[in-house]
Amino acid sequence: MVSNNMNNNCLSMDVVELLEQMNMLWEQHVYWTRMLIISIAERLDDQEAVTNRLLQNPKDIATIFANYYTETIGNEIAQLLTEHLQIGAKLITAMRDGNTEEANRLNEEWYANADKMAEAFSSINQYYNKDELTEMLYTHLDLTKTEAALRLERNYAADIEAFNNVEQEALEMADYFSLNLMIQFEEMFC
């Protein structure tokens, strides 16, 4: 994914820090989402506390982007990621409760939010390809929905395997965001 524009001999501490931070935050994104899926599916008393912690993640991810763009762009990213998580939680709840009509409506809203995210990211960085982003985000939603459905079915072995796929895909997204950010701002990383 790294273009020829970036010096292949460029491995500064700034590069390492960005990669580590982006990976950590996307790992947290999927781990706290998983904890929320379990809380919703099992009707656990920790759902509010888990939700509050999960909703810190969009702000943390947005801070990375605000460091390179503007606070306004960071706020837009935080808002879109927050909506992504809120819609997902409502969708999982509707799935759990067997409310198919509501689940279908929320599913459409979730993918529309992904479209908005792909548009927002591609508008700030010429190396963020809108079609690639859309495909990645749709895959993220598909995998997360599968994970939730398997958890709701109490198919725990398959649920865990599905989460492994979610985690791997999130790390690929983290790399995509990091590497193309480094290409756009190459002078800051070498």
pLDDT of 88-121, one tens digit each? Answer: 999 999 999 999 999 999 999 999 999 999 999 9
Q: How many CB atoms lie within 10 A of CB 121?
A: 25
Overall average pLDDT of the 132-147 stretch: 98
Overall average pLDDT of the 119-125 stretch: 98
Decide: 43 and 63 in contact? Cβ < 8 Å: no
Please indicate whether residue 43 or residue 11 has the higher confidence score (pLDDT).
Answer: 43
Overall average pLDDT of the 9-30 stretch: 89
Closest CA to 167 of 135, 190, 139, 189: 139
pLDDT at 1: 41
pLDDT at 8: 54
**Is the pLDDT reported for residue 188 higher than 90?**
no
Please indicate whether residue 133 or residue 187 has the higher confidence score (pLDDT).
Answer: 133
**Is the pLDDT reported for residue 9 higher than 70?**
no
pLDDT at 3: 43
The dihedral built from the CA positions of residue 10, 3, 77 and 80, taken in this order, carries a sign that is negative
Burial-class residue 81 by CB neighbours within 10 Å (0-12, 13-18, 19+). Answer: buried
Closest CA to 88 of 148, 44, 5, 39: 148
Tell me the C-alpha distance between 35 and 64, whole Å. 24
pLDDT at 187: 86
